[in-house]
Amino acid sequence: MCGIVGYTGHKPAQEIVIESLKKLEYRGYDSSGIATYEDNIRICKKEGPIANMESVLSESTSTTAIAHTRWATHGVPSDANAHPHGHTDNSIAVVHNGTIDNYLSIRESLESEGYNFLSESDSEILPFLISKYYSGDLVEALNKALHEIQGIFTIAVIHENHPDEIVAVRNETPLVIGVGNSENFVASDIYAILKYTQQIIYPEDYQIVRVTAESVELFDAELKSIDYNVETVEKYTEVSEKGGFEHFMLKEIFEQPKALQDSLTELLVESPLERLGLNWKIGSISIVACGTSYHAGLVGKYVIEQLTAIPVSVSYSSEFRYAAPVQGVGGLLSSRPLVVLISQSGETADTLAAARAAKQQGCHTVAICNVPGSRITREVDGVIITKSGQEIGVAATKTFMTQMQALYALATHLAFNSGSLDHPQYKLWESEIRRIPSKITQVLNNCESIKKLVPHFTRAKSVFFVGRNINYPLALEGALKLKEISYIHAEGYPAGELKHGPLALLGEDTPVVAIAVQDHTYSKLMSNIEEMSARKAPILTVCQKGDQQVPKISDYHFELPEIDPVLSPFPVAVFLQLLSYYIAHDLGTDIDKPRNLAKSVTVE
């Protein structure tokens, strides 16, 4: 989940890679560092945010540099464990994203040969191992080192004998090459380098890349030169600027109407659903995702099953491939199962592994992803691209909304194809989905009333979020948002389950957020709220406009704009995001960079 960027060209490299690295800080912010070519390799690295490293950085005229921002896996955040790692003779520097599973045995072997280690990081074996095999060709040395290591990784290396050269390789973690005019780039993410180039190369696993100012070469495992494609990617205008907002998360919450509108245009005008080829009788659907994307998948389950009657299961990516085979494989059902994989980055390690497992089982795979050209989009049978733009806040907001939107669109597409919806019904659904951006704008415009609710939560040790039916996943998402950024313990529950244990925890210091929409579960939820209130728990209920019952049984309430209950997850999500944001803001936490977390989870 670390961020890597490198530059070689005709300009001072240090300024370029630092600016680019800041666009990757969402991937990790425990420490950062940079290596430049001076008379030899100079490394500067520091625990904490990039600003800490910048404060001790000397001037440089080097035109080659690699840099790194870290999310700790092996070794606590510290100056010593920060990247780049180098050799004691200052001849080499290496940055690494991923994990090296057999680093301990390699480290013991290198120590027996006289190498001295200064860190706890698994990555420090790399400069010593590459130096050991170096005999004039950095590509050859890296290739030999790859035969020793096991794990997942992106590695970038510079050497004092090759002042304008960066050598890099990947295995199951992201690496892109940016092609410029007499300058070239390596990075973990296209967003880091889009300011400088839109010409991108996507290396495959174990393809070693040699980048100089004037050339890019790719080599296979036998070090034979291989051809590659250069792709032109869209240059997003929503770059890493806060635009007057105090935090990226708040900016991204307010960008949601535009993100939904842009994604809707993609879904309805570009017609990606037609290109998915879902024209057979689908017997079952599995939705696979992690974190917030998993909650979007749970919403999708309700919608797809309601519109199509196709049974849908939702699995965590990290558990999917360890479970029983997908129904429909091996004769369990008569048709080929559909597996929908959701990943904001397209590089989520567990979701990628799940995609491969599904394909091995003979399933048809479709990815919902926010990053064109990312790894998962290249490994599945079909792709739905969301148009959220770059999301920098670690807590997902606008990507969650566009993922839900994609699932609603997929549900209506499947229902129309199967005949569950006729053309007028399909157009009615399409019309309702088009209105969602205006509905959530109404919630955004009411943010001041949400701020007034904050004092009821800031002293809480624990908060419960409850909902039923399609809004149960929103209870899970609300709890996740609150604990991610405020560090208040929170749990999401189906409202009917509280009586089976959790009621024991309720009291005057345990607020409850109840999501109450007037669907077929409404009367049951009202009874659940009465049960919680009887335990003296403060109740905040999110309800529909004009609800007469909720104010009578809740301590506080917030009215949603008028909307069909089946579409209520969209405005509910905005309310929950803003509530969590304002609570965290009041507590003074680091909202965009919550402790221990990172945005793109590229390790399992």
Q: Which residues are catalytic?
A: 2, 599
Give the C-alpha separation, 289 to 38, whole Å: 45
CA distances from 365 to 282, 374, 400, 598 (A): 12, 15, 20, 27
Residue 182 is encoded by which pair of tokens?
Answer: 């007499």
Residue written as tokens 């989870």? 601
Residue written as tokens 């095999």? 133
Looking at the DSSP assignment, which residues form a beta bridge with residue 167?
A: 157, 210
Residues 6+ apart with CB under 8 A from 584: 482, 485, 486, 591
Instruction: Return the half-sphere exposure (C-beta side, CA atoms, 13 A cut-off) of residue 184.
Output: 21
- Report whether 570 contacts 436 (CB < 8 A): yes
- Report whether 147 contacts 181 (CB < 8 A): no
Give the C-alpha separation, 477 to 454, whole Å: 18
**CB neighbourhood size of 77 (10 A):** 15
DSSP state, residue 317? H
**CB neighbourhood size of 333 (10 A):** 16
CA-nearest of 478, 436, 437 to 295 is 478
| 442 residue type, one letter | Q
Residue 235 is encoded by which pair of tokens?
Answer: 């240059």
Residue written as tokens 């803003």? 578
Chain CA centroid to CA 507, Å: 35
DSSP-assigned letters across all residues of 428-455: HHHHHHHTHHHHHHHHHTTHHHHHTTGG
CA-nearest of 408, 397, 438, 400 to 561 is 438
Give the C-alpha separation, 183 to 155, whole Å: 20
Angle at 431 between CA 428 and CA 433, to 5 degrees: 110
